[in-house]
Amino acid sequence: MPETASADERPSIGVIGGGILGLTAALRFVQAGARVQVIEREERVGGLVTSFEVGGSHLERFYHHLFRSDRDVQALIAEVGLADALVWPRPDTSVLYGGQIYGLDSPLDVLRFTPLGILDRIRLAACLAYLKIENNYHRLEGQTAADWIRRWMGSGVYQVLWGPLLRSKFGAYAEQIAMPWFWSRVHLRSSRLGYVRGGFYRLYARLAEVLAAQGARISLGTEVRAIRSGDGQVEVETSQGTEVFDRLLVTVPTRLFMRLAEGLPDDYRADYDRGDFYGAHSVILELNRSLLNGIYWLNVNDPGFPFLAVVEHTNYMPAADYDGLHVVYLGNYLPMSDPLFQEADAIVLERFLGALKWVNPEFDTSWVVKSHVFKAPYAQPIVTIDYHRHIPPHQTPLPGVYLANMFQVYPQDRGQNYSVRMANQVAKDVLDGLTGTDRTSAGSI
Ligand SMILES: Cc1cc2nc3c(=O)[nH]c(=O)nc-3n(C[C@H](O)[C@H](O)[C@H](O)COP(=O)(O)OP(=O)(O)OC[C@H]3O[C@@H](n4cnc5c(N)ncnc54)[C@H](O)[C@@H]3O)c2cc1C
């Protein structure tokens, strides 16, 4: 028999997804006195920040760091008692162009970037300075990043610097990406990058602990298969049985929500079940020595490489945290239909390792102690210029069902910070809806 809300006086709230958005919202719900159940398909919490162990520390399957502007997630880290673990090194970011590595971390680096002529460098520096101080991205709405960059920075700058980066992140959509998205990438970035020493998983594990201590249920390894709403309650069919809630918050990608939710009106689907999403692919190498000589992040702007970035995590966090191993990510964003997602790991590895000679001519496969391949669907929204017109509101047409996910983040690139911010906001909306009052903060229901 499905459990019903009537067994307890407190309102029951279900949360689908145990990533940062679902866990943060669940925290706000238990703090307000609700009965909460988080339903997560995987065996661990963390979502896209899911981690595994390397040399005694947790390591993310996909590279992760924070910017200084990521205030909401910093507040959450402090709230759960991990502020002391959050460190802010200033690692080296560079670009590989024409077979050479160039630092590209500061205005001085920009002025020294010799693949561009001096006038292009000055235009580039001036435009970056403008985007840093421009607070109103609405001024840039309706323009593509490609057009804006060509117009203001120059076509040479687009060709050498931003065109390859946009193509590596958005493939065939590179020319259609919204300028406000590019604005946010420049405006909100900091050269100091934040990391929870020992791995972001510590934040997720702590959130799960706090939730359990406050009486929330976290059902791992439980896949949601259908969502139905009626008679003032929401029914969730899962791989482990059916649950019934007073309210439901869904944090899975919009496209998946559209497949799970029954009875959505056609015009809602037509408005919001749109657009494309890329998957993420990551090869992680545990090496017995350093690959990049001090560089943390290397954007690959030369054609012909099988990966878009080489990220040596242990040029950011000390190798000692990983038992002396040097950890390198080779990353890609690609359409989910790309053959790379189907290829055997051994074949992928051979091709990727072969290309590392072009990054460091001394590289030898004997440096590789262990390797891993990870893939995630729905990892990167494709933020074209009309993207913002097709972001669904949090309240869905199904009574009692709310949708909040990283595909509703705009214009910023998705990130843990924006999921935390959205979770705080939508939790307030859900709680307001329960009490029917204009609450301004999440106190007791
Ligand atoms: C390559 C890469 C690099 C990134 N770099 C950074 C970075 O440097 N800094 C940063 O802050 N962010 C970064 N991000 C973004 C960050 O990972 C996301 O913004 C954040 O993890 C989103 O959290 P979420 O809870 O909104 O979604 P998710 O983490 O996607 O959580 C959704 C959850 O729903 C679960 N789920 C899905 N379907 C079902 C179902 N049917 N039933 C039950 N459960 C289901 C999933 O398993 C998942 O756990 C990066 C992402 C990628 C892919």
**293 and 362 both lie in a single domain:** yes
Judged by DSSP in three states, 221 sits in: coil
Cα 253 to middle of ligand 1, angstroms: 9
In ligand 1, the atom with minimum distance to the C-alpha of 409 is 19
C-alpha to C-alpha distance for 90 and 103, rounded to whole angstroms: 13
Range of the domain at 364: 276-381
Domain of 425: which CATH number?
3.50.50.60
- pLDDT at residue 342, as a whole number: 97
In which element (H, E) is residue 102 found?
A: strand 100-103
Binning pLDDT at 50, 70 and 90, where does residue 439 land?
A: very low
- pLDDT at residue 7, as a whole number: 55
Asked, for residue 444, whether it belongs to a domain, the answer is no
Q: Average model confidence (pLDDT) for the chain?
A: 95
Residues in contact with 299: Cβ distance below 8 Å, sequence separation at least 6, in sequence order: 93, 94, 95, 96, 104, 164, 165, 168, 308, 309
Q: What tokens were used for 324?
A: 């002396």
CB 430 within 8 A of CB 29: yes
Q: pLDDT tens, 51-71?
A: 999 999 999 999 999 999 999
Integer CA distances (angstroms), 235 to 118, 191, 283, 397, in order: 63, 46, 39, 15
In which element (H, E) is residue 31 found?
A: helix 20-31
**427 and 354 both lie in a single domain:** no
Domain of 301: which CATH number?
3.90.660.20
**149 and 214 both lie in a single domain:** no
C-alpha to C-alpha distance for 414 and 419, rounded to whole angstroms: 8
Spell out the long-range contacts of 307-314 with Cβ–Cβ below 8 A and sequence spacing 24 or more.
307/283, 307/331, 307/332, 307/352, 307/355, 308/168, 308/169, 308/332, 308/333, 309/168, 310/356, 310/359, 311/63, 313/59, 313/63, 314/290
**417 and 395 both lie in a single domain:** yes
Asked, for residue 150, whether it belongs to a domain, the answer is yes
The amino acid sitting at 435 is T
Q: What tokens were used for 304?
A: 């012909």
**245 and 376 both lie in a single domain:** no
The amino acid sitting at 76 is L
How confident is the model over 96-104, as a mean pLDDT? Answer: 94
**267 and 395 both lie in a single domain:** yes
Asked, for residue 70, whether it belongs to a domain, the answer is no
Asked, for residue 92, whether it belongs to a domain, the answer is no
**257 and 405 both lie in a single domain:** yes
CB 165 within 8 A of CB 126: no
CB 298 within 8 A of CB 310: yes
**157 and 32 both lie in a single domain:** no
Q: pLDDT tens, 235-246?
A: 999 999 999 999
C-alpha to C-alpha distance for 423 and 379, rounded to whole angstroms: 18
Q: Which of 342, 360, 381 is the last residue of a domain?
A: 381
Asked, for residue 298, whether it belongs to a domain, the answer is yes
Asked, for residue 441, whether it belongs to a domain, the answer is no
In which element (H, E) is residue 67 found?
A: strand 66-67
Which residue's alpha carbon is nearest to atom 19 within ligand 1?
415
Q: From the CB of 414, is ligand 1 less than 6 Å away?
A: yes
- Mutational test site, ligand 1, from 184, 203, 316, 414, max ligand atoms within 8 Å of CB: 414
C-alpha to C-alpha distance for 210 and 97, rounded to whole angstroms: 47
Binning pLDDT at 50, 70 and 90, where does residue 5 land?
A: very low
- Mutational test site, ligand 1, from 51, 64, 239, 341, max ligand atoms within 8 Å of CB: 64
Q: From the CB of 63, is ligand 1 less than 6 Å away?
A: yes
Asked, for residue 237, whether it belongs to a domain, the answer is yes
In ligand 1, the atom with minimum distance to the C-alpha of 282 is 1
How confident is the model over 118-136, as a mean pLDDT? Answer: 96
β-partners of residue 53 are 58
Q: pLDDT tens, 306-333?
A: 999 999 999 999 999 999 999 999 999 9
**218 and 235 both lie in a single domain:** yes
Residue 139, pLDDT above cutoff 60:
yes
Asked, for residue 97, whether it belongs to a domain, the answer is no
Q: Which of 187, 221, 248 is the last residue of a domain?
A: 187
How confident is the model over 403-415, as a mean pLDDT? Answer: 97
Judged by DSSP in three states, 239 sits in: coil
Number of domains in the chain: 3
Q: pLDDT tens, 142-173?
A: 999 999 999 999 999 999 999 999 999 999 99
How confident is the model over 4-27, as a mean pLDDT? Answer: 88
**290 and 335 both lie in a single domain:** yes
